């Protein structure tokens, strides 16, 4: 497929627009700015003479988006807050209590994620929001694959340990 193929562009947009917006919003701290960054990312994709190969498309999109979001953040001194976007869409569940428990657990994980160092937050978001491989993440953040793996491992370990040891954590205690 080529960049000029409207069906290809539509399929790429459908697959990557929302994850890129969440990713950019985390960096810019402003949902509208994030949407602008993602729009600019897709415009740059459309202006390319050829499309990135399928295995390079996601890293290319995330890299361009990341650079644009960092530029916006550098240009704007003031930071605005946004509500934290969920890591994944919560499916509709027939049982309300199960959905509520899942939402509570997700909120708990997002709270803890927000306390991690910025580099751990970024690689975890790319891994779980962007569903990217370690190699793709390493290209985006300019770190070695092993460093990305270490950051993800350390971040997940911290999240698990924090959830396990929180006194208000009914979910972790119930599972023991």
What pLDDT is stored for residue 124 in this prediction?
Answer: 92
Domain boundaries, the chain: 6-75, 96-170
d(CA 19, CA 29): 15
Which is more confident, 120 or 82? 120
51: which DSSP letter?
Answer: P
CA atoms within 13 A on the CB side of 12: 28
The pTM score is: 0.62
Q: Residue 81: pLDDT band by 50, 70, 90 thresholds? A: very low
User: Among all chains, which residue has been given the structure tokens 């969920």?
Assistant: 86
Residue 13, CA distances (Å) to 39, 58, 97 in order: 10, 11, 34
What pLDDT is stored for residue 138 in this prediction?
Answer: 93
Q: Residue 88: pLDDT band by 50, 70, 90 thresholds? A: very low
What pLDDT is stored for residue 129 in this prediction?
Answer: 83
pLDDT > 70 in the chain, percent: 79
d(CA 73, CA 27): 7
pLDDT in tens, 109-121: 888 888 999 999 9
pLDDT in tens, 105-156: 777 888 888 899 999 999 998 998 888 999 999 999 999 999 999 999 999 9
The CATH architecture that domain 96-170 belongs to is Orthogonal Bundle (1.10)
**23-49 burial: b if 16+ Cβ within 10 Å, else e:** bbbbbbbbbebbbbbbebbbeebeeee
Q: What are phi and psi of 41, to 5 degrees?
A: -60, -45
């Amino acid at each position: 497929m080529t960049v000029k193929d409207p069906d290809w562009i539509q399929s790429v947009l459908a697959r990557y627009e929302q994850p890129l917006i969440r990713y950019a919003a985390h960096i810019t701290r402003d949902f509208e700015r994030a949407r602008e960054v993602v729009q600019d990312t897709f415009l740059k994709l459309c202006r390319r003479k050829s499309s990135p190969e399928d295995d390079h498309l996601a890293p290319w999109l995330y890299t361009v988006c990341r650079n644009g979001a960092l530029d916006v953040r550098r240009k704007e001194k003031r930071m605005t807050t946004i509500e934290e976007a969920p890591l994944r869409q919560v499916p509709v569940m027939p049982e309300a209590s199960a959905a509520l428990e899942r939402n509570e657990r997700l909120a708990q994980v997002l709270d803890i994620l927000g306390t991690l160092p910025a580099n751990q937050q970024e690689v975890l978001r790319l891994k779980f929001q962007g569903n990217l491989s370690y190699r793709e993440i390493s290209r985006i953040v300019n770190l070695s694959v092993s460093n990305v793996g270490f950051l993800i491992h350390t971040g997940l370990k911290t999240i698990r340990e924090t959830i396990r040891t929180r006194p208000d954590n009914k979910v972790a205690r119930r599972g023991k």
